[in-house]
Amino acid sequence: TRDLQIRRVECGEGEVEFQLGPRDPILGSALTIPLPPGCDQAIVHYTTQPQASGLQWLTPGQTAGKRHPFLFSQNESIHARSWIPLQDSPGVRITYDASIQPVDGLRVLMSAQHRSEENGAHVFRMDLPIPPYLIALAIGDLEFAALGPRTGIYAEPAMLPATAHEFEDTERLVETVERLYGPYRWGRYDLLVLPPSFPFGGMENPCLTFATPTVIAGDKSLVGLVSHELAHSWSGNLVTNATWRDFWLNEGFTTYLENRIQEEVYGREQALMEQVLDRRELEKELREFPVADQILHIDLKGRDPDEGCTRIPYFKGALLLRQMERAFGRTAFDRFLRSYFDRFAFQSITTAEALDYLRTELFDRFPKESAQIPLEEWVFEPGLPSGVPYARSERLENVAARGIPDRAWNTQEWLEFLQIMVRPVERAKLEELDRAWTLTETGNFEILGEWLLISIESAYEAAYQRLERFLTEVGRTKLLRPLYTALMKTPDGQTLAKEIYAKARAGYHPITQTALDKIVHFSK
């Protein structure tokens, strides 16, 4: 547990003594309950604290509707322990029952099956064994729209029409993964679009993916997020990393699956554009992070596992799988993946177990093809093996060749355009772009994030008001981190960063606060 107030523990008829060990800032405190003979269950009575890292309590002002409060949980990596006393390791699998009593008749959702409502209490059950980081709860003024027979979307009423439209392909996405990798085993697949302070792009809570509203681009160009979180229903939720050192088994496999799904549903060119942008981001992080953090089987000793969550396990992991696909052929590799998901369904496995299975089921059977793949180097060495081919996208190459924006561009083309601009960019050029394309006022948060970054790096002050609003409203760490980092590089920027951060911090999720405190050198 971490930061729980344990009131008392009951066992059978009576109360039992418990011990709460010393508090480690990362791991928390061990709760030990010695069970008296004949007693194999205990009831722990406890309360959470306001600073519980796994919960964010939003004021009405932080929601779209502005009238009701909102609560949501985020357990990955080790935040379950901040609101539930349990064995908080992905190597442990559990089922759960929950009964939740909301205030004000608000809607309650969990990563489980909704069973009933009695006297205002909502009863849920997850009867498939899941790791604790997949328990999830959200409460707010939420409405539902069906997307397909087993898919749907929850969002605040004001957000529902736009989100339902953006994610209308969800049922098709589920059908596509099933065709590739076998049946979807979790019953329903619903999406929950959270308020903008949600600290991630998405979270693969079973039956109920949590998603940031910042991917609502209007043209489905960021639906890769749904493909990603949905893919976790196979890689991650069905076959789970046993420890956080094995995180790449969750994210690398999922990023590979995500791109395959994107290719099936939105075409090869869309999938290639995403690969090209991902590769650039990977290379940027390989330049930024120390060699120890570039190893897929990362060493996390003494560290918060959230620190292992760079883009490296995602994109380096996916490149390894893509190399295998190329070497063994799509048919053989797809067959392998399907068998991997069946073999380890509802189990948590280590890197060593996954490598074992890869070797016996794939590498040993295709010795000639496997000679091209330096598996040990991929998994245990930093950087990338030499000669990993670059994906190429005609549409992105046209962006560079054309040099001026086009009305028909989607998010990926805009990101390419903005990312390859040499900094600093002259003010006149930025003014002209802004006038022609109203970039400072764009509602596409990925493009806006990139535009604000250029603005900081080019001291384009016309965008600074928008920058402040963005930093105050959005809580998605991936979008915030580069902006604060860029501001901190100049004295004026530092002053501005600290000023905005002091105002914005209270509205950020505890996980976002922890990540950003280090960047802006904030101390309480």
Segment interacting with ligand BES (CB under 6 A) among 44-52, 60-68, 199-207, 346-354: 199-207
Contacts of 370 (CB under 8 A, 6+ apart): 327, 328, 362, 363, 364
Q: Is 239 exposed, middle or buried (0-12, 13-18, 19+ CB in 10 A)?
A: buried
Task: Provide the greatest CA pair distance for the chain.
Answer: 79
Among 107, 478, 498, 505, binds ligand BES (CB under 6 A): 478
Q: How far is the CB of 524 from ligand BES (least distance, A)?
A: 23
The two three-digit tokens of residue 461, written as one number: 């002050």
Segment interacting with ligand BES (CB under 6 A) among 17-25, 202-210, 285-293, 406-414: 202-210
Residue 200 near which of ligand BES, Zn ion, none (CB within 5-8 Å, type-dependent): ligand BES
Residue 152 near which of Zn ion, ligand BES, none (CB within 5-8 Å, type-dependent): none
Q: Is 300 exposed, middle or buried (0-12, 13-18, 19+ CB in 10 A)?
A: middle
Nearer to Zn ion, 306 or 413 (CB): 306
Contacts of 306 (CB under 8 A, 6+ apart): 77, 78, 511, 514, 515
Among 225, 242, 261, 500, binds ligand BES (CB under 6 A): 225
Segment interacting with ligand BES (CB under 6 A) among 34-42, 228-236, 355-363, 433-441: 228-236
Nearer to ligand BES, 141 or 278 (CB): 278
Q: How far is the CB of 241 from Zn ion (least distance, A)?
A: 11
Q: How many CB atoms lie within 10 A of CB 383?
A: 13
The two three-digit tokens of residue 94, written as one number: 């559990």
Nearer to ligand BES, 416 or 446 (CB): 446
483 binds ligand BES (CB under 6 A): no
The two three-digit tokens of residue 352, written as one number: 């060593």
Instruction: Tell me, yes or no, if 46 is annotated catalytic.
Output: no
Instruction: Tell me, yes or no, if 229 is annotated catalytic.
Output: yes
256 binds ligand BES (CB under 6 A): no
Contacts of 285 (CB under 8 A, 6+ apart): 310, 311, 312
Going 90 to 93 to 95 to 99, the CA torsion angle's sign is: negative
Report how far residue 192's alpha carbon sits from residue 339's, in angstroms, rounded to the nearest whole number: 30
Segment interacting with ligand BES (CB under 6 A) among 29-37, 200-208, 339-347, 400-408: 200-208
Nearer to ligand BES, 195 or 224 (CB): 224
The two three-digit tokens of residue 370, written as one number: 């496997």
Count of residues touching ligand BES (by CB under 6 A)? 16
Binding mask 233-262 for Zn ion (x = CB under 5 A): ------------------x--x--------
Nearest to 446 by CA among 472, 400, 421, 480: 480
The two three-digit tokens of residue 388, written as one number: 């990993």
Question: Is the bond preceding residue 424 a cis peptide, omega within 30 degrees?
Answer: yes
Q: How far is the CB of 107 from Zn ion (least distance, A)?
A: 26
Nearer to Zn ion, 68 or 476 (CB): 476
Residue 77 near which of ligand BES, Zn ion, none (CB within 5-8 Å, type-dependent): ligand BES
Q: How far is the CB of 332 from Zn ion (least distance, A)?
A: 25
- Which residues within the stretch 63-102 sit at the binding site for ligand BES (CB under 6 A)? 76-77
Residue 225 near which of Zn ion, ligand BES, none (CB within 5-8 Å, type-dependent): ligand BES
Give the containing element (helix H, strand E) for 165: helix 160-166
Residue 48 Rama label (left phi>0; alpha psi -120 to 50; beta): beta
- Contact at 8 Å (CB) between 92 and 132? yes
Among 141, 156, 166, 204, binds ligand BES (CB under 6 A): 204
Among 156, 166, 229, 264, binds ligand BES (CB under 6 A): 229
Catalytic residue from among 314, 460, 484, 508: 314
Q: What is the DSSP letter of 103?
A: S
- Contact at 8 Å (CB) between 430 and 460? yes
The two three-digit tokens of residue 518, written as one number: 């280090």
Report how far residue 242's alpha carbon sits from residue 91's, in angstroms, rounded to the nearest whole number: 4
Q: How far is the CB of 456 from ligand BES (least distance, A)?
A: 21
Among 81, 228, 297, 316, binds ligand BES (CB under 6 A): 228
200 binds ligand BES (CB under 6 A): yes
Catalytic residue from among 204, 229, 264, 274: 229
Report how far residue 431's alpha carbon sits from residue 433's, in angstroms, rounded to the nearest whole number: 5
Question: Is the bond preceding residue 221 a cis peptide, omega within 30 degrees?
Answer: no
- Which residues within the stretch 277-336 sit at the binding site for ligand BES (CB under 6 A)? 306, 309
122 binds ligand BES (CB under 6 A): no
Q: Is 92 exposed, middle or buried (0-12, 13-18, 19+ CB in 10 A)?
A: middle
202 binds ligand BES (CB under 6 A): yes
By the criterion CB under 5 A, which residues form the site for Zn ion?
251, 254
Tell me which residues touch ligand BES (CB under 6 A): 76-77, 200-204, 224-225, 228-229, 232, 251, 306, 309, 478
Active site residues: 229, 314
